[in-house]
Structure 1
């Protein structure tokens, strides 16, 4: 993913999502899949909303991609082709595929630190 200078400036301005001023925040509602600007969600009433990364555009049209990248602002996995944060990352561990969202923080960091090689 080629991050624009505008995206990288946001990543330099805010080191964590919690540093984004309340008036500039957007939230993701995982109950009704809406992006909202206030809590609770005005569509379904959900109060447990996640602060949305300003670099996330939420719509990815790619089904499967072979690699993964990480957002320079929030550190979450993103689609390497479009930068959407709505991805499910899987990895082969001890012979079977597994969704990594349930892994603990140490194991997820180990996955981020892996060096990937391409055999030419």
Structure 2
């Protein structure tokens, strides 16, 4: 992902999503699947909508990509083509594919640190 200068400025301004001031926050409600400006969600009343990363564009049209990148602000996996944070990362573990969101922090960091190679 080629982050713009403005996006990199935002990433340098905050070290995590929790540092974003209340008046600048946007939230993703996973109950009604909307982006809202306040918590609790004014549409469905969900009291725990997720603080949205300001670098998330939310509009990914890519079904599958061969690589994954990580957001410079929140560290979450993002689509390498558009920067959308709504991705599911899977990896092959002992012969089968598995969603890595259930892995512990150490195993997820090991996945981030892996070296990738292309056979030409």
Query: Which interval holds the TM-score relative to the shorter structure?
Result: over 0.9
Secondary structure of the corresponding residue to residue 40 of structure 1 = coil
Q: Secondary structure at the match of 2:10?
A: helix
CA distance in 1, matches of 2:105, 2:35: 26
Corresponding position of 1:18 = 18
5+ residue gaps, structure 2, are: none
Q: Could you tell me which residue of structure 1 aligns to residue 108 of structure 2?
A: 108
Unaligned runs of at least 5 residues, structure 1: none
Q: TM-score, normalised by structure 2?
A: 0.98
Q: 2: distance between equivalents of 1:45 and 1:115?
A: 43
Displacement over 3 Å in runs of 4+: none
User: Per-residue displacement from partner, 1:41-61 (whole Å, max 9, x unpaired)?
Assistant: 111110011110000011110
Match of 2:30 in 1: 30
TM-score normalized by the length of structure 1 = 0.98
